[in-house]
Chains A and B, each alone.
Chain A
């Protein structure tokens, strides 16, 4: 019990939980936006890699941190556009296209990294985003260091949750996006473009995913490593189901996973001799599967998810 108290009682733990959750927040939001519009985007794992690499490389080449964020978002948007072309314009399998995007984005990022920096043994580093202490709030005992000393990208992620939730539920655009994933025929009847809305959602969602990757190389770490994404994207796909396609629940899900991950790292340090570390590393995946199984039946998924749309189509 002392161990648990030590862990949960440390501001450091809660700060780490939010840090680990940040890329997931971007990723879940991006995936959620795509799926709300009716398009599953399994390219997320690769788009994470592309965002991480492109953002980092841009900063390394002198673009500045926010320049790097922009480059990462553009890289994500480009792969989103490709996915949109294949699935929305050509109406091809969203599953296979997504896997293809993941393979392409991953290999092109690795290739570009290797080609840009051919002969380095240890990865070069950049000066990443520094934590921004919110005045007054960050001086609070315990809560200050735990919650109010994060980097700009974490604040951006939290802002995006609010923005996406606002757009989805409080604006005509959000209504149209939700309708296009539920009942595209009704959107067409309104004279709106089903394909245009879907393309916009997939491109924007993919740009958001890429920011999750960029957070890793430009904020959490200061370098790019091969294999650094390591399944984070797939976890986001599971989290969207867990969150029932709602931004608020997506944030909670991401924070829960962040807390869990931060917890297992610390617990491992205490009892790692007794229990193999891999057990803890397996748990997020097993929990994701469990969440999928539990939530699947009652899930309020977008009705037109995975269904291509041709103009003038009636159901």
Chain B
């Protein structure tokens, strides 16, 4: 019996979920090879990782703390990729959001906390959104590829941030460290639980996921995004304002990445520095893909990726195996889900045993 591939019309939720989970597990399984090469025991390593990520209230808080920006950057990639707008610039948009939050929230405005927190969030959302609207306009106006431009802008933004925190925004009280003046107390996110680092940014992320879920499933914009993502020409023919839809997607996508920056600066660091993000923007792409571009799934995928990073750090301290293992799991997760997505598009069938699609 020869095997052949048949296109699959629609993958069920159960199948999509199992492909995502299988991809994460496959990534962990493959990583056993480099762990063995580093003369470590993979079983011990994984148990230590799980303990480091979930083994105590403190560990859980650290994992959710790490997941917070990943939920937001994951949602940023989710909404953009659904419309086939390849936003690879979440890292830069994150920094622009953080920059806007610091500009507004470190003394420019004097507002009570009930207004200050929304003000910095709005500023961060708009700043991040603008960072995506510009490449989208360049794409529409000149046909310039948004992948490369959003990527290159990441480098421009990080240099801009370095310039500002060594120059006009530099905190004179920071003992010469290149970091910005801190946020006012009113502009900071409260902790969710005293003495643990988890903060209200997590709630922002969860609410954003719910809003986005509602948007893609129930709203007109969600329908338009789906149509534009599936076939731009057909959408245009059907009278959908393609360019305007793309700009809305760009604003929301960049804005969500900007909120990730606001969340990190207002919930964790309280000042802007060039090491605010260890690549949250890039990991967000993996989160979105692992979640199959599902907003709710992005929350789970973000927790998984965060657990890998937090767990790997703790495992690395215990065993001496390099914590770059976490990046390796993240990269392999992306490639495994990519292979998995092949099985979502096709089913393997035996000749003569044709299955109804």
Contact = CB atoms under 8 A, between A and B. Distances in A.
Contacts of B320: 118
A82 B339 CA distance: 11
B138 A115 contact: no
A114 B324 contact: yes
A108 B330 CA distance: 11
B159 to A, nearest CB: 4
A278 B338 contact: no
Nearest to A288: B152
Contact of B152 (A82, A92, A95, A289): A289
Nearest to B330: A103
Interface string A281-306: 11001101100111011000000000
A309 interface: no
Q: Is the interface of A mostly helix, strand, loop or mixed?
A: helix
A27 to B, nearest CB: 13
Interface residues of A, number: 44
B113 interface: no
Given A292-B144, A293-B144, A107 B324 contact: yes
Interface stretch (B55-63, B160-168, B218-226, B247-255): B160-168
- Scoring B138, B144, B166, B285 by chain A CB atoms within 10 A of each residue's CB, the highest score goes to B144
Contact of A107 (B88, B138, B289, B327): B327
B216 interface: no
A145 to B, nearest CB: 32
A91 B138 CA distance: 28
Given A114-B322, A276-B163, A107 B331 contact: yes
A93 B86 CA distance: 11
Given A93-B338, A296-B142, A234 B151 contact: yes
A101 B331 CA distance: 8
Contacts of B163: 276, 278-279
A101 B334 CA distance: 9
Interface residues of B, number: 44
Interface string B18-35: 000000000000000010
Given A103-B286, A104-B331, A92 B342 contact: yes
A99 B154 CA distance: 15
B334 A111 contact: no
A282 B34 contact: no
Contacts of A82: 335
B348 to A, nearest CB: 13
A286 B325 CA distance: 34
A113 B279 CA distance: 20
Given A111-B34, A285-B156, A296 B334 contact: no
Interface of B: 34, 37-38, 86, 88, 138, 142-145, 147-149, 151-153, 155-156, 159-160, 162-163, 166-167, 282, 285-286, 289, 320-322, 324-325, 327-328, 330-332, 334-335, 338-339, 341-342
Smallest CB-CB A-B distances: 10 pairs: A107-B327, A103-B331, A114-B322, A104-B331, A278-B163, A296-B144, A111-B324, A100-B334, A278-B159, A107-B328
Given A96-B338, A278-B160, A285-B152, 15 more contacts: A92-B339, A95-B88, A96-B285, A103-B334, A104-B332, A107-B330, A111-B325, A115-B321, A276-B166, A282-B156, A289-B152, A293-B138, A296-B144, A297-B142, A297-B143
26 contacts: A90-B342, A92-B339, A93-B338, A95-B86, A96-B289, A103-B327, A103-B331, A104-B331, A107-B324, A111-B328, A115-B34, A115-B38, A115-B322, A231-B155, A241-B145, A278-B163, A282-B155, A285-B153, A285-B155, A285-B156, A285-B159, A289-B144, A289-B153, A292-B145, A293-B144, A296-B144
